[in-house]
Structure 1
Amino acid sequence: MKSKLTAVALAAVVVAGTAAAAVPASAAPAAPTRCHTADLKAGFATGGDAKPEMGQTKKQTQAYIWFTNKSKHACTMAGFAGVDMVGAQKTDGTWSLMRSAKKPPKMTLQHGDTVDFSITLLPVARSTAHKEKFVPAKFLVTPPNETTHFTLKWPFGGQILKQDGATHPGTYIDPVGL
């Protein structure tokens, strides 16, 4: 009888100890929410190999824009940024860049983490007719799934073949993280 009572008491202690150690659902860490514009900083990558070759006109080149999580919490990001180029010439207007066919990855950015995306550009010579070239002045960059943008001054000079109405333009963006 004594061993049965001891076994029952011991089982009650084990169950009680387990229950006391369980973390209530409300105290469990929340899954990160998506990154909002206010959580981020943005800019052009300007290091040596990150600069687009705007002086050549024989091939496409890439510029890179980065986002850094400046918030104190982790956040997730997946998709394409919205990118509108604003031209320096009166005839340029604003050009909303098309997206590549690449599939965007989903990523979690911890405080201080940086991720970037590329813009493929098709530069043209200065001698190209005025109506056939777009001269970038600034870029309006909206993080994925957001409506508020960053305004970034174009730091690289040069001009791009104007294909703002093309179905498959030589200037387009890749998803964030690729």
Structure 2
Amino acid sequence: MVNVGVKRVSIGAAAIAGAFALAACGSGASQPAANSANTAVGAGAVGGAGGGGVSDVSKQRSDAAGKSGTAPKSAADSTPRCTTADLSASLGSPTQHQDAAGQFDVPLKYTNTSSHSCALHGVPGVDLVGPDDPNGTTYHLPRIDNGVPMNVVEPGQSATATVTVLTQTPGSVGSLGSTGWTPTRLVTIPPGQTQPLTVAWPSSLTVMRQDSATHPGSFVNGILADPS
């Protein structure tokens, strides 16, 4: 889980603080959940101050870039993000996670159902929703930003984020005494979006609730490109 810090700068007696609420990670942050959007992603700011010479510096940089043969942005960089309306979601079969007993990987596949190419990268928001539990009916999964930095999905093609979960094993107890919790559905928000997609959760796969754990065994990984 990656913590995003907020930097405050004080100038004289005035203080300016900025705060951004993110739903799903776009390209370098890791926060929980199903809005994930993750989350106005990829924002940047450049500031400058000074009495003079700014134009000269800009010109020098421009000249240097021209001499070095700097290439223009690629088509991939300018491809618009996939919206929720562009996508459908589905879950694959669980497989054991790196030979770790009780931990499983569930592929969460996003398919581009639109007629145009779109960019899908970053970490989606994922909530597991199920019956009542001491921790509540919704388990917000933390996110790990370990996916590809850019990924263009053509119409009919897909990209996948793996959902890793720790199952309930005999004798194990989760947060607040939770036991035997099985989600009924997974709710996900693609990176950069606010509208969710919902898919049914495998009825045979229990999940140990670790809502208050520092390093829980359940989390969602970044999106990777699927083979063409």
Q: State the TM-score, normalizing by the size of structure 2.
A: 0.56
Match of 2:44 in 1: none
Corresponding residue SS for 2:199: strand
RMSD of aligned residue pairs (Cα, Å): 2.5
Which residue of 2 is the match for residue 160 of structure 1?
207
Q: 1:85 aligns with which of 128, 135, 151?
A: 128
Q: Deviations over 1:18-76 (max 9, x none)?
A: xxxxxxxxxxxxx4211000001111013xxxx245xxx93421011100111111001
Identity among equivalent pairs (%)? 28
Q: How does 1:34-53 map to 2 (within 5 A)?
A: 34-46=81-93, 51-52=94-95
User: Does the 8 Å contact 2:81/2:120 carry over to 1?
Assistant: yes
- How many Å apart are 1:143 and its aligned residue? 0.6
SS in structure 1 at match of 2:85: helix
Greater helix fraction, Structure 1 or Structure 2? 1
Cα contact 1:123–1:161 (8 A) shared by 2? yes
Residue 170 (1) aligns with residue 217 (2) = yes
Q: How does 1:117-128 map to 2 (within 5 A)?
A: 117-125=161-169, 128=172
Larger Rg over CA atoms = 1
Quickly say closer, same or farther: Cα 1:143–1:120, change in 2 above 3 A: same
The residue correspondences of 1:1-178 to structure 2 (distance < 5 A) are 31-46=78-93, 51-52=94-95, 58-91=101-134, 92-125=136-169, 128-129=172-173, 131-133=177-179, 134-177=181-224
Distance 1:176 1:101, change over 3 A: closer
Aligned CA distance change for structure 1 residues 132 and 99 (closer, same or farther; 3 Å): same
Residue 129 (structure 1) shift: 4.9
CA contact (8 A) 2:120 2:159 kept: no
The answer as to whether partners of 1:115 and 1:177 remain within 8 angstroms in 2 is yes
AA partner of residue 110 (structure 2):
F
Tell me, yes or no, if the aligned pair for 1:52 and 1:156 is still in contact at 8 Å: no
Distance, in Å, in 2 between the alignment partners of 1:103 and 1:44 is: 18
Runs of 4+ in 1 over 4 A off after TM superposition: 126-130
Listed as ranges, the gaps of 5+ residues in structure 2 are 1-77
The answer to whether the 8 Å contact 1:89/1:135 transfers is no
- CA distance, structure 1, for counterparts of residue 95 and residue 209 of structure 2: 17
Supply the distance in 2 between the matched residues of 1:93 and 1:75 (Cα, whole angstroms): 33
Number of equivalent positions: 143
Alpha carbons 1:136, 1:157 under 8 Å: kept: no
Q: Distance in 2 between matches of 1:152 and 1:109?
A: 21
CA distance in 1: counterparts of 2:182 and 2:85, whole angstroms: 29
Q: Which amino acid aligns with 1:132?
A: S
TM-score by length of 1: 0.71
Higher strand share: 1
